[in-house]
Amino acid sequence: MKITDLLWVLTAVLLMLAGIPGKAAVPVNIYSGEVAVEDQSEASRNKAVGQAFDQVLAKLSGRRQLTGAAGVGKFRADADRYLQGYGYQRYQVAISPGRQYEQLRLVASFDQQYMDRVLRELRLPRWSPDRPDFQLWVAVDELGDRSLLGKDEAYLRFVINDSARRRGFPLEIGVASQEGPTARLQDIWGGFVDGPMKIARAGGFQGVGLVAAQARAGAWEVRWNLAAGADRWSFRSRGASLADAFSAGVHRAADEVAAGYVIAATAQGQWTENIDVINLAGAQDYTRCINYLQSLSLVSRLEVVEAQAARVRFRLDLNAAPDYLYDRLRRNQVLNSLGSQLPGAARTFELSRQPQ
């Protein structure tokens, strides 16, 4: 294929993919918050809008508590003016096995540009929107009997999902199935992520979480092992009840993952960087490479500036310092760095042949 023809094909691919956002296996609306309310009165709504604003700010920054942060109050007072919309949703909230009640929640969505400006003016870090999504496998040991958390255990599943949704932490709880692969109990209990990671990737997830809960000395202790790309996290959570231990663990998981993906306030801005990708075998490789780069929220714009037989140079307009781009590429393991031969030269990468 001629070089001019290759450039034309790549340009056509870019036009085809332009505007198509990356789709996480478990989408999370990071600009929307939901808060329990007593009724649909104006007084209840006004109070809840401020709480929803705080929740969205926590989702965007990765910080769990921002209520008392300097300067937040003046933006919270104007939050009602920047509502894109709101509504009410009724949840059947499980409070213990076999017991539940109906809870009314206000669901409020805020203007993206306004919330991004708030983040900048408060000098808060930004948790990247293209955060890894996790398939969670949960096992519980009750008096020596170990089993996977099942579909019928709505109480505990609600606690985990609700805690994750409030933090903007994308996850989905795996369920044992005769139709598809299931993580082994020994892998979950031992924290062995390799096998479950293959199952997660086959299902379209970027990460996997292994959660093992056991009663100890009148309380519950939960061991968490999470993996995404090159990253690994291990910790324990505890609680008087299993629900408390799970909720505490989800918040800790969100804290840990966010810490690895946040962009410091001082590193947010505009940069341009060139990278070379080599050994692209054909149209499928080109499309996979372009689709991956466009899925990164760090990349505001992508342009093909040079193409040879199996090498393509991309110009990337970035909204964060280039070091964050290279750190993300290292973490995701889709493009593997081969370094650069000369100072100031474009860094060279090779498309991974391993399924991601």
Say whether pLDDT at 19 is over 80: no
Q: What is the mean pLDDT of residues 221-242?
A: 95
The better pLDDT of the pair 1, 268 is held by 268
Judged by average pLDDT, the poorest of 23-27, 43-47, 219-223 is 23-27
Per-residue confidence at 152, pLDDT binned at 50, 70, 90? low
- Ordered DSSP codes for 139-181: EEEETTEEEEPPTT-HHHHHHHHHHHHHHT--EEE----SSS-
Q: Where in the chain is the domain with CATH 3.30.160.100?
A: 134-262
Burial class (CB in 10 A: 0-12, 13-18, 19+), 270: exposed
Collect all residues with Cβ–Cβ distance below 8 Å to 218 and sequence separation of at least 6.
none
Per-residue confidence at 331, pLDDT binned at 50, 70, 90? confident
Q: What is the mean pLDDT of residues 86-113?
A: 87
Q: What is the mean pLDDT of the chain?
A: 86
Say whether pLDDT at 2 is over 70: no
Q: Which two tokens stand for residue 44?
A: 């209840």
Q: What is the mean pLDDT of residues 81-95?
A: 88
Distance (Å, rounded) from C-alpha 309 to C-alpha 320? 31
For 134-262, which CATH superfamily applies? Answer: Ribosome hibernation promotion factor-like (3.30.160.100)
Distance (Å, rounded) from C-alpha 251 to C-alpha 163? 7
- Specify the pLDDT at position 315: 96
How crowded is residue 243: how many other Cβ atoms within 10 Å of its Cβ?
A: 20
Q: What is the mean pLDDT of residues 203-229?
A: 94
Where does residue 129 fall: left (phi above 0), alpha (psi -120 to 50 degrees), or beta otherwise? alpha
How crowded is residue 217: how many other Cβ atoms within 10 Å of its Cβ?
A: 7
Say whether pLDDT at 217 is over 90: no
Instruction: Produce one character per residue of 163-187: b if its CB has 16 or more CB atoms within 10 Å, e if not.
Output: bbbbbbbbbbbbeeeeeeeebbbeb
pLDDT tens track for 271-286? 999 999 998 888 888 8
Per DSSP, 191 falls in state: T
Per-residue confidence at 151, pLDDT binned at 50, 70, 90? low
- Specify the pLDDT at position 354: 62
Across 281-328, where does the E strand assignment appear? 299-307, 311-320
Per-residue confidence at 39, pLDDT binned at 50, 70, 90? very high
Say whether pLDDT at 175 is over 90: no
Cβ–Cβ under 8 Å, residues 53 and 76: yes
Cβ–Cβ under 8 Å, residues 220 and 211: no
Cβ–Cβ under 8 Å, residues 300 and 251: no
- SS3 call for 333: coil
Collect all residues with Cβ–Cβ distance below 8 Å to 194 and sequence separation of at least 6.
none
